[in-house]
A and B are shown apart, each in its own frame.
Chain A
């Protein structure tokens, strides 16, 4: 639990910004809160709210959100070897709690070189702590969003929150290329209908990231 405190404090600004932002766009408190438990994925919740407020059709919103969360396939795959031996009900439970943060702490614990047979309890504990924190800070954000007048431009919390998330993941050239390509496509396609610009932008980003990574690998091999 002590290892968790900085992490729980770390998700607080994101959850609060999400709650406040969703209220600012006109969503109800109930819907905003429900999304935090039904979807339980920070970045994808912001994306959903943004697309809802732009009047994008439901099917396209679902598609975009799933594309945003598709990266969890990697988390699911890296965790799998450690929990293979557990009964299915454990794996179903841990999957629900599998977020970016739970993945990060869980993998750190599994990487530690001891044979403790109860590491999945650690993962479960971190997951539950994160879940409870996420619900509470969402509620706090809803409260703040409802109390603050529109003139305070709280919708600006969305790009700011994403800047705070983006800077730490820009660790190498391929990641920067992925971001740049996606950003440019999203700006160029700003007036495209049905959220197609976001989906196109994400796909362009993945392609750019892979392309630059392959080029970098070649350069290193030739040097």
Chain B
């Protein structure tokens, strides 16, 4: 599929989702089970992207390898960033400390 067409479909679909209960359907008839399940989309999506991105190492175009060890610079930097996020709840600090930690570890190693 052409990437621009894909973007158009993503946009139209997302808009339709946002319109759903405002325009298309009666919000009183949204089943509780769906409400319950959808509150877990964010934690699920976020960690499903984070964990492989941190545990599989290898540059762009290289074959990536699973590495769950202290020698994995991305893993160490991500754990530090998570600590910062936990304590300060600040996105600038989280991304800043994580990037700085990765650069420092790569430079030292």
Binding site for B on A (CB under 8 A): 10, 13-14, 17, 25, 31, 34-35, 38-41, 43-44, 46-48, 50, 52, 57-59, 61-62, 65-81, 83, 88, 91-92, 94-96, 98, 150, 152-153, 155-170, 174-176, 178-187, 190, 197-198, 201-202, 204-210, 213
Contact = CB atoms under 8 A, between A and B. Distances in A.
Given A83-B22, A182-B48, A71 B42 contact: yes
A167 B60 CA distance: 27
B48 A43 contact: no
Contacts of B89: 167-168
Contacts of B85: 163-164, 166-168
Given A40-B14, A76-B27, A213-B36, 17 more contacts: A35-B10, A47-B45, A48-B7, A61-B6, A69-B14, A69-B17, A73-B20, A77-B20, A77-B35, A158-B49, A162-B50, A163-B85, A175-B39, A178-B43, A186-B48, A206-B44, A210-B36
Contacts of A44: 10, 14
Contact of B7 (A34, A98, A204): A34
B71 interface: no
Contacts of B78: 159-160, 163
A61 B14 CA distance: 13
B3 interface: yes
A110 to B, nearest CB: 14
A62 B13 contact: yes
22 contacts: A38-B11, A39-B7, A41-B14, A43-B45, A59-B6, A66-B14, A72-B20, A73-B17, A73-B34, A77-B30, A91-B23, A94-B22, A95-B15, A159-B49, A163-B46, A169-B43, A182-B45, A186-B51, A190-B56, A190-B66, A197-B48, A210-B37
Contacts of B55: 187
A21 to B, nearest CB: 11
B21 A73 contact: yes
Given A31-B3, A58-B1, A80-B27, A205 B47 contact: yes
Contacts of A150: 60
Contacts of B5: 58
B52 interface: yes
Contact of B10 (A65, A81, A163): A65
Contacts of B7: 31, 34-35, 38-39, 48
B41 A71 contact: yes
Contact of A209 (B14, B43, B94): B43
Contacts of A160: 78, 81, 94-95, 98-99
Contact of A179 (B30, B35, B47, B98): B47
Nearest to A200: B48
Nearest to A83: B22
A74 B18 contact: no
- Give 5 nearest A-B pairs by CB, closest first: A205-B44, A58-B1, A209-B40, A38-B11, A80-B27
Contacts of A78: 27
